[in-house]
Chain A
């Protein structure tokens, strides 16, 4: 099954100019997504996962400097496409779902109109056919009374319903890649499970690959085939979900997994990771996690570890694994 990767990212870096100086939000990121697979992208707030997602869709503002050795989607280099071509891809071949359903939809237009417009933009359907397709989509994502909701405005729907609409819009043109940036974080716990199930079912149904961005490892366990862990703008570990959960290699991943409160812990303090994330304006040399790492070695403060294979299909960026000590 050596299919060409659907999405291939080599050496992605994103830099922002801010009041405090240049912020290196993402550095040296390598990622591969194959068709139909679900990749989880995990890390704490500010680690660069959302920035990466936006960079993939080429949605970052002009003040962001995006560089990569290659950024290929469906065989095309996204960095060389002009705005028109990019616009043709977005919403069509690659779609994105954002975190906050309350602010994702245009408040002045009806739900139906917002689904129809993406259909008409990319598929050029006549109004009648677009309307039918939109209604079908609404029903598929589990919106009851689709005809009535079609004419409703966003403020008349609940958060969960709005997110379903967002999913409907994202899948309207049958994209091969769906990027979901924390799709359930802003929802009630009871709704979260429903939405995730919906995403998984629809994704499988349409053979869409999915990049699921989250800080919740539980979601990753449930939804993803592979997972990539980010820290301070870099990829620190990547591999199949089972392998990562069973045998995490990078100290950060280990600490993350340990800090999840488990049902069995009736008492005792929660495990925390001491220290704070490094300053992205003036990153120290060496491994960004070194100051907080229990396994810190001298080399960690001076040299940057690159992701190396620690096991088949399982990479980690740590001098503990797969590196020749120099």
Chain B
């Protein structure tokens, strides 16, 4: 048990420099972006004296390192900065947009995993068979059609032509669960298809390797049923690469969120960031990027802990 805690502790410690590096990068964003925030804030009311006052009030005349720590301190207290134009605290904005992005991402990944793993296992059990070849076809489509292109095509087909599903907008879950899901079907499929391809292929490859191992034949010699061998034993032993790829693909998924949210006009973090870039609303860009980076790091941490659970060698001492 102590080795488990030690491993957890080590991973957490390793995450800290990554987080710090991330925060420095994000902070550097605002200081490298062109344009003077003070000027943007004052607009027509600009005068050197007003600028100096505002600059002091915003803390922009202090040394950069001090500004960084103030900013960091603010983050740790939940103050992510303010919208340059509307002066709304970013935390408020995030409270509205984060749930949307999270729902979209979790649904897409969840759906992808639920489809991909059985597909990969089935394909590995009969290489060259029907499922395997179908998977090959899906893979080709999945990796060749970018998520937002697929989204556009789906809108074309199901919304514009067939009129079965809505092409855009978002309805909160608390307001109308069914409608919420209706609006999310197309975005989730757009994001999920490529993930199904990657995850299923990885599952297939991993399973093929595991199924070639001696202990699988031995399990058959014990008279264990094939299905149990495939889903209980083989999958368990072949899970590591699959978990890895799910963790990595989460990052891709978060990136894909950004564009897909724009295609379907979903008011999530991605759309928030893009709008902010166009409007030169840098605090929003900063905060949004930081939030997404945080999510990604947390997912990675979770993935690592999952490793631990799956690989008995890490948590117990080797003889």
Contacts and interface: CB of A to CB of B under 8 A. Distances in A.
User: Does a CB–CB distance below 8 Å link A and B in the complex?
Assistant: yes
A124 B219 CA distance: 17
Contacts of A83: 226
B214 A98 contact: yes
A87 B237 contact: no
Contact of A121 (B221, B225, B316, B319): B225
Contacts of A89: 223
Interface in A88-138: 88-92, 95-96, 98, 100, 103-109, 117-118, 121-122
Contacts of A105: 215, 218
B312 interface: yes
A155 interface: yes
Query: Contact residue range for chain A?
Result: 20 to 34
Interface in B222-243: 222-226, 233, 236-237
* Main SS at interface, chain B: helix
Quick one: which of A87, A89, A105, A108 has the most chain B CB within 10 A? A108
A156 interface: yes
Quick one: which of B221, B233, B318, B319 has the most chain A CB within 10 A? B221
Quick one: which of B220, B311, B318 has the most chain A CB within 10 A? B220
Given A100-B214, A103-B214, A104-B214, A118 B222 contact: yes
Contact of B236 (A103, A108, A122): A108
B77 interface: no
Given A104-B215, A156-B318, A169 B237 contact: no
B213 interface: yes
B208 to A, nearest CB: 14
B149 interface: no
B310 interface: yes
A59 interface: yes
B229 to A, nearest CB: 10
A87 B236 CA distance: 22
B318 A87 contact: no
7 contacts: A87-B223, A91-B224, A98-B214, A108-B237, A118-B223, A153-B316, A156-B318
